[in-house]
Chain A
C-alpha cells in the first residue's frame, strides 16, 4: 500500500487534484479497489493497442471492460455494471472474437508497415497534446461543476439505482428510448444487406478478362447463384473460403471485385502467406 501511495504522490497533479488532505480520508478498500482496477484498465487498454494478434487484443479489451464494470460498482452504478458485463463482454467482444475466427485473421500483423508516412509519429504527438489539454483544462476547472440532480437524484431512492434509472428512461428520456428502435431496425436490415451474397461473376460482364483458371470457379458460383436464394451450399462455399482453403472457389470472389475496379490493374496473385492455411 505504501508503494501505491508514493506512486500517487509522484503523480503530482493527481495528488494535487485530490487535495493532500483527502488521501488520508479515502477508505482503504475503495482506494485499493480503484487503483487495482485503474491499473487493469490501463494495462488492458495499452494491450489492445500494442498486441499484434487480434485475439489477444480482444482478450485485453475484455480485461478492461471488466475492470470498468468494477469501477461502475464502486460508483454505485450497479445496473450499468451488470449491463457492461452482459452486453459488452458478453455480446460485443464475443461478436468480435466470432468475426476474428470466422475470417481466420488470427495471425500476427506486421506492425511496422506504415501506410501514411509520418502518421506513427504525428498521431501520438497529437493524442498526447490532446490529453494534456484535457487534463490541464480539467485541473484548472473543478471537474464536475454542473447543476446537481437535474433529472433526479441517483442515490437514496426507493428501489435503488435500477428504479431511478428506469424512472429516468421512461420519463425524461422517453423519446431517446423510443428512437433507439430506429437503431435496431438499421442493425437488423444492415446485417441482412451485408450478409447477402454478392452477385456472381457469371451474370456480369465483369468476368471478361479474368484469366482462364477462374472459369471453374465462376461456374460454381453461377450454379449457386441460379438457385436464387441463400442456399446452404452457397454459405458453405464461403465458410470454406474463410477457413483458408485454397482453390478456385476461393478465387472467384476476389477477381471480379478487382477486375471491376476503376484503376486498371492485373489480377493479383494470392500472396504465399495468404494461401497457406
Chain B
C-alpha cells in the first residue's frame, strides 16, 4: 500500500498556494516567473496523482502538454524580459512606472 493520494494532493495544494503567494508579493519579474513554474508543477503533481488514483493514463498525457506549454511560455517570457531590461539593470516590477496603475 503506497502513500494515500490525498497526501499528494494536499502537498500540491500547498505548493500551488506558495507559488500564487510568490507571484502576488514578489516584485522581481524573474522570481515571479519562477513562482508561476511552481504553480504549474503543483498542477502537474495533482494530475499525476489523479492519474494514479484513477488508473488512467490521460492525466499523465495532460502533464505532457503542460510541460510543453511551460517551456514555450518561459521562452517568450524571458525574451520579453531580456528585450526590456538588457539595458536597464534591475528587473523589479517597480521599474514599470511609465503608465499609471
Contact = CB atoms under 8 A, between A and B. Distances in A.
B4 A22 contact: yes
Given A25-B1, A143-B6, A187 B76 contact: yes
Nearest to B25: A123
Contacts of B4: 17-19, 22, 26
Interface band, chain B: 35 or more
A148 interface: yes
Contacts of A172: 58, 61
B41 A68 contact: yes
Given A22-B1, A238-B86, A77 B60 contact: yes
A219 interface: no
A253 B71 CA distance: 29
A244 interface: yes
Contacts of A269: none
Interface in A64-93: 64-65, 68, 71-72, 74-77, 79-80, 83-84, 87-88, 91-92
B85 to A, nearest CB: 6
Contact of B5 (A49, A144, A261): A144
A22 B3 CA distance: 9
Interface in B39-73: 41, 44-45, 48-61, 63-65, 67-72
B35 A48 contact: yes
**Consensus secondary structure, chain B interface:** helix
B31 A154 contact: no
A46 B58 CA distance: 30
B67 A184 contact: no
B75 to A, nearest CB: 5
Interface stretch (A130-138, A201-209, A224-232): A130-138
A218 B5 CA distance: 61
A206 B58 CA distance: 54
A168 B58 contact: yes
A49 B27 contact: no
Given A61-B38, A103-B85, A105-B91, A154 B21 contact: no
Interface of A: 14, 17-19, 22, 25-27, 30-31, 34, 38, 41-42, 45-46, 48-49, 51, 54, 57-58, 61, 64-65, 68, 71-72, 74-77, 79-80, 83-84, 87-88, 91-92, 95-96, 99-100, 102-105, 109, 111, 113, 115, 119-120, 123-124, 126-128, 130-131, 134-135, 138-139, 143-144, 146-155, 161, 164-165, 167-169, 172-173, 176-177, 180, 183-184, 186-187, 190-191, 194-195, 238, 241-242, 244, 250, 253-254, 258, 261-263, 274
Given A27-B2, A154-B59, 18 more contacts: A26-B2, A45-B19, A48-B31, A49-B22, A72-B45, A75-B8, A77-B63, A83-B64, A91-B71, A102-B86, A109-B92, A131-B14, A143-B53, A150-B58, A154-B56, A167-B57, A190-B76, A253-B87
6 contacts: A68-B41, A109-B28, A123-B24, A143-B6, A147-B54, A258-B98
